[in-house]
Amino acid sequence: MILDEKKLLGDLQKYILLSIEQGCTTAAQIKKNIFSKIGKDVSINALYTVLARLDKLGYIDVCYSAVNSTRGYRKDVKVYSITILGLVTLQANIVNLLTMIGRENNA
């Protein structure tokens, strides 16, 4: 499967989509998951930049959730979920990667 150039994902985009697919719903959880899985410490600014780009492409949805903080006030937290388009694009990128390393039959 050859992907349209617009649908090719960068490494950080793949890591973020995989993290969301695995149940990480906030930027802090995504950042922590990426660090714990591959040891890459992503800056929060880079993370928010890529999250905004993924949202603009339609690969994720963003909503706000009110959370009670430990200091007693409510704070709106961005919550991320992966869309069907995001899942399909992520899967196609993974299949392309497996094909490149000669494991296309194991996908």
SS3 87: helix
pLDDT (mean) for 61-81: 80
- 8 A C-beta contact, residue 88 and residue 95: no
Confidence at residue 58, expressed as pLDDT on a 0 to 100 scale: 97
Confidence at residue 29, expressed as pLDDT on a 0 to 100 scale: 97
Interatomic CA distance for residues 28 and 47, integer angstroms: 9
pTM of the model: 0.83
Confidence at residue 107, expressed as pLDDT on a 0 to 100 scale: 47
